[in-house]
Amino acid sequence: MNTLNSTITSEANLPEETRAQKYDDKPAETVIEEGRTVGKPLASDPKFKLRNVEVFYGEARAIKNISLDIGRNEVIAFIGPSGCGKSTFLRCLNRMNDSIDICRVKGSLQLDDQDIYDPKRDVVELRARVGMVFQKPNPFPKSIYDNVAYGPRIHGLANRKSDLDDIVESSLRKAGLWDEVKDRLDASATGMSGGQQQRLCIARAIAVSPEVVLMDEPCSALDPIATAKVEELIAELSASYTIVIVTHSMQQAARVSNRTAYFHLGHLVEVNDTTKVFTSPEHELTESYITGRFG
Ligand SMILES: Nc1ncnc2c1ncn2[C@@H]1O[C@H](COP(=O)(O)OP(=O)(O)O)[C@@H](O)[C@H]1O
Ligand SMILES: [Mg+2]
């Protein structure tokens, strides 16, 4: 196993051809076959149908022929070593990669059977349906109230002040923040603790009634108590939303998700029920990662 370990930890720096040659000498189950994902990559009631997805940054191929369904109201966790493409793949789901000039996305990506990359698609509307929460809490330098009211105002979701008040309150309640902030809605969001800021960003994302919430390592800047609160929140939100969460923490993936997807060097190696991934993974590379042999 040590040989496998040292091979894998250093391979990220190797050119593609060298990597392929190295894998030729390995037992079959450690080989990554492009486009093949072991386990259960498909879902019976898919919200997203993603087929043969490839993402390029200039000439570099960061996502290599990935096909995956994401089920309605499921929580799916993306795990894998740093640089394996988790964020890149996540950003395809609401076209967040559009803002990166050198980035090109190929393949078929559908949300409710409609092409996400249809040039006629309204990207602002797409991002209201597929909201996003980032690694570092990024509240606007505005009041707590105005942060949550921002999306509903832009999208014209409330005609009267009282409607807007209702949306702000219900979003803050869903984000588990209402009791902490109800007496200081006019205070600046930037004065909140990191954990509160992240829950505020979640409130801001859900204020426009999205169908999906994408979270890219939402707890990596938070302490354990704030992390526990966000995880509780994910469990509550999972009743009404489809949630895709990238996480570095395998414990977190195990706690919050129904299925877990293991990424490796731009490939999607394995997708399975979360308990299966963490107790009896089907692919050797998944096993090496979850047992801490690399990553
Ligand atoms: N904006 C970018 N421009 C160029 N290359 C990028 C960019 N973002 C990510 N990459 C490259 O794409 C690969 C996947 O990165 P990323 O999706 O950030 O991985 P992860 O989230 O799993 O750590 C890496 O090789 C990374 O260097
Ligand atoms: Mg990332």
Could you state, in order of their start, the residue ranges of all structural domains in the chain?
A: 41-141+210-291
**Does 88 contact ligand 1 (Cβ within 6 A)?**
yes
Nearest by Cα to 92 from 72, 73, 71, 109 = 109
CA distances from 24 to 7, 138, 198, 249 (A): 12, 45, 45, 31
CB 278 within 8 A of CB 95: no
Give the Å distance between the CA of 174 and the centre of ligand 1: 32
SS3 of residue 49 by DSSP: strand
Give the model's pLDDT for residue 293: 73
Provide the phi-psi class of 47: left if phi over 0, else alpha when psi is between -120 and 50, else beta: alpha
The pick from 56, 57, 91, 289 for probing ligand 1's pocket by mutation, whose C-beta has the most ligand atoms within 8 angstroms, reads 57
Cα(200) to centroid of ligand 1, in Å? 27
Element (H, E) at 225: helix 224-237
Residue 151 has which token pair? 């999306």
Q: Tell me, using a 6 A CB cutoff, whether residue 104 lines ligand 1.
A: no
pLDDT of residue 268: 98
How is residue 98 written in tokens?
């559009």
What's the predicted TM-score (pTM) here?
Answer: 0.89
Give the residue, by CA position, lying nearest to ligand 1 atom 24: 83
pLDDT at res. 32: 85
Alpha-carbon distance of 165 to 158, in angstroms, equals 9
Q: What is residue 226's predicted lDDT score, i.e. its pLDDT?
A: 87
Q: Look at the domain 41-141+210-291 and name its fold.
A: Rossmann fold (3.40.50)
Protein residue whose Cα sits closest to atom 16 of ligand 1? 85
Task: Specify the residue for token string 């707590």.
Answer: 144
- For ligand 1, atom 7, the nearest C-alpha belongs to 57
Backbone angles phi and psi of 233, in degrees to 5: -60, -45
Judge if the beta carbon of residue 81 lies within 6 A of ligand 1. Answer: no
Query: Which residue do the tokens 């690694």 mark?
Result: 135
- Predicted local distance difference test score (pLDDT) of residue 294: 65
**Can you give the pLDDT of all 295 residues of the chain as single tens digits?**
333 333 333 344 445 554 444 444 444 457 788 999 999 999 999 999 999 999 999 999 999 999 999 999 999 999 999 999 999 999 999 999 999 999 999 999 999 999 999 999 999 999 999 999 999 999 999 999 999 999 999 999 999 999 999 999 999 999 999 999 999 999 999 999 999 999 999 999 999 999 999 999 999 988 899 899 899 999 989 999 999 999 999 999 999 999 999 999 999 999 999 999 999 999 999 999 999 876 5
State the pLDDT at residue 254. 96
How does DSSP assign 121-186, residue by residue? S-HHHHHHHEEEE-SS----SSBHHHHHHHHHHHTT--SSHHHHHHHHHHHHHHTT-HHHHTT-TT
Residues 247, 112: Cα–Cα separation, whole Å: 25
CA of 150 to the centre of ligand 1 (A): 30
Q: How far is the CA of 240 from the centre of ligand 1 (A)?
A: 30
